[in-house]
Amino acid sequence: MPSHARPKPSRVPRALLRAGLVISAAGAALAAGGAATASAAPAASDLATDTGAAASGLTGALLHSAAGGLGPVKNLKLDPLANTSVDPLANAVSTQIADFKPVGTTLLTGALSNGAALKDLPLVGTVTRVLPG
């Protein structure tokens, strides 16, 4: 068989294919949830007169779905080695120059080495309060 007649191998990386599969599965799950709520939706003639209720129902469903997906992520323990003897973030370094206030790495790594979740971090935690869940 001549070389120009052979099919070219796929150039799509496996990671990209896996990501597409995960997104497709998530879309199917959301569509299945939407189909369950769509079967309980009012008739089309009722929707024509009450579009505000339909929009608020869609917003409520979207917020409920986002809360179910983001809630566990916000409560996830970020450092799996926290509160163990092998935690690399527990090794703090500090210094003090003259009579200035001491400076150390525990300000940055202390919360993580104590087993904090994303919502418990000093700066990021305030931002995650905006997210549902």
> Tens digit of pLDDT for each residue in 62-101?
777 777 777 777 788 888 888 888 888 888 888 999 999 9
pLDDT band at residue 126 using 50, 70 and 90 as cut-offs: confident
**Using CA of residue 118, residue 123, residue 125, residue 131, what is the dihedral sign?**
negative
Q: What is the pLDDT of residue 105?
A: 85
CA distance 52 to 57: 9
Q: What is the pLDDT of residue 99?
A: 92
> Tens digit of pLDDT for each residue in 107-121?
878 888 888 888 888
Output 102 or 25, whichever has higher pLDDT: 102
**Using CA of residue 118, residue 124, residue 130, residue 131, what is the dihedral sign?**
negative
Output 133 or 20, whichever has higher pLDDT: 20
Question: For the chain, which residues make up each domain, given as ranges?
Answer: 78-132
The residues that bridge with 117 in the sheet, in sequence order, are 77
**Number of C-alpha atoms within 13 angstroms, CB side, residue 78?**
16
